[in-house]
Amino acid sequence: MFSERELSADLAAVRDEHAPGALVLDCAHDFETVPAAQAEELALVTDSLDPRSYPTEWLPADAPEILYQYASDELTVGAPGDGGVAWTHQTDPPVVLVKPRLAGSPDAFVDFLVAEALVQAGLDLPEHFLGFFGERYPDLVAATEDRLDPTDTYQVAAALYDAYLGLHTRDVFADWADDYPALFDAWVDAGDRLEPRLVDLSTELARGETGFGNAAELACAAIKHRTEPPTPFGALDTEAYREYGADYAVEWARKTFDRLD
């Protein structure tokens, strides 16, 4: 299932700085969440496993099954929406997993995704939005439930956490211009490619041409690239969100959906 990935000198340096000793592994099969049997194979290549678990009281009865799996004491690695690279620090050392779906993608883009995962894995932050929202997740659900179904709320929660992570990582990326110019250029290029998709996003959302969850994914991804997100997501691109975290996100959701009524 897993084989160690050869890293460029730049990626090795990023790993040494942000997630010393982390393993970067190529995966034989694509996944959203690594099947339990395969996840246990990580014990063969790491020193130890420490599965995270969370109180199921944080979850509404109709929450997607993946959230109940993530809350359990079963080792759950990866989640829908992770994209082509996933990471976990439920292992010692942390692990970054590169999925086969990235085959054929530009090398510079893949290297940036791996570098981003290494930076995130080195933060003292949860690897999933459930750990971020914690006991406030029911409040997020309550703020959105009149307009979003549980799957859409999941999508919005994942996007909000992506924005929060972006507030912590983008300064790191911006500092790569001199030391890791290829990674820096890939970060800039990804932001440039995203920007045209944001121009009409507010209008598309207002007209119902784009779902709120899809709009949130695009707009929140912009934050890590220092690309200005459109209304109503611009209020997430603030130091206040970085400081207050889940409390800020829940209040943002409540105000945003109140205005939509």
pLDDT computed for residue 107 by the predictor: 94
> Is residue 256 classed exposed, middle or buried when 0-12, 13-18 and 19+ CB atoms within 10 A define those classes?
buried
Share of the chain above pLDDT 70, in %: 100
Return mean pLDDT, the chain: 95
pLDDT computed for residue 35 by the predictor: 86
When pLDDT is averaged across residues 226-242 and rounded to a whole number, the result is 96
Is the pLDDT at 94 greater than 80, yes or no?
yes
Share of the chain above pLDDT 90, in %: 93
Longest dimension (CA), the chain: 52
Q: What is the pLDDT of residues 174-223, one digit of tens each?
A: 999 999 999 999 999 999 999 999 999 999 999 999 999 999 999 999 99
Determine the residue type at 199.
Answer: V
When pLDDT is averaged across residues 76-81 and rounded to a whole number, the result is 90
Q: Is 67 left (phi over 0), alpha (psi -120 to 50) or beta?
A: alpha
- Which band of pLDDT confidence, cut at 50, 70 and 90, is reported for residue 261? low
Phi, psi values for residue 3, rounded to 5°: -140, 145
- Beta bridge mates, 86: 97
User: What gap in Å lies between CA 191 and CA 221, rounded to an integer?
Assistant: 9
Indicate the SS3 state at residue 147: coil
Domain ranges across the chain: 1-123, 128-261
Q: What is the pLDDT of residues 56-72, one digit of tens each?
A: 999 999 999 999 999 99
Residue 225 CA to chain centroid, in angstroms? Answer: 14
User: What gap in Å lies between CA 35 and CA 1, rounded to an integer?
Assistant: 11
DSSP class of residue 2 equals E
- Beta bridge mates, 87: 96
pLDDT computed for residue 192 by the predictor: 96
Q: Are 53 and 11 in contact (CB under 8 A)?
A: no
Q: Are 183 and 115 in contact (CB under 8 A)?
A: yes
Indicate the SS3 state at residue 48: strand
User: What gap in Å lies between CA 41 and CA 26, rounded to an integer?
Assistant: 13
When pLDDT is averaged across residues 32-54 and rounded to a whole number, the result is 90
Residues 6+ apart with CB under 8 A from 246: 132, 133, 134, 136
Where are any strands of DSSP class E within the chain? 2-4, 23-27, 48-49, 85-88, 91-92, 95-98
pLDDT computed for residue 151 by the predictor: 93
When pLDDT is averaged across residues 154-170 and rounded to a whole number, the result is 97
